[in-house]
Amino acid sequence: MLRVGDLQRSIDFYTKSMGMQLLRTTDRPEQKYSLAFVGYEDESQQAVIELTYNYGVSGYELGTAYGHIALGVDDIHGLCARVRAAGGIVSREAGPVKGGTTIIAFVQDPDGYKIELIEHA
């Protein structure tokens, strides 16, 4: 689960830039939060990301315990180009991991969460 400052902005990033699907949303006005679940496939098939917007909170400190999430992708160069074209940040261009041959890249979502992209072999 990631806490986000603008739910629609985050949904747009994960669906339009990252190519995920919006699987479902839930609004809980009594509890003052909204949820959106995004993923490449339904959660019965793969893990998904839960985005949580707490009413009235526009940003969070990411903390020192959080590192990044990692996602396997088919076309790492194309995905980096889509993120960049949508105004997103590619903080590490696609290339081999140090000391290896696996191709990785890093991007950031609108709230500053780091996402490692790992190209499927």
Give catalytic status of residue 41 as yes or no. Answer: no
Q: Is 10 left (phi over 0), alpha (psi -120 to 50) or beta?
A: alpha
Residue 86, phi then psi, degrees to nearest 5: -85, 5
Distance CA 65, CA 33 (A): 24
Query: Of the listed 41, 43, 116, 119, which one is catalytic?
Result: 116
Say how many Å lie between the first and final Cα of the chain, rounded: 27
Q: Specify whether the backbone of 57 is left (phi greater than 0), alpha (psi in -120 to 50) or beta.
A: beta
The answer to whether 109 and 20 are in contact (CB under 8 A) is no
Residues assigned a catalytic role: 116
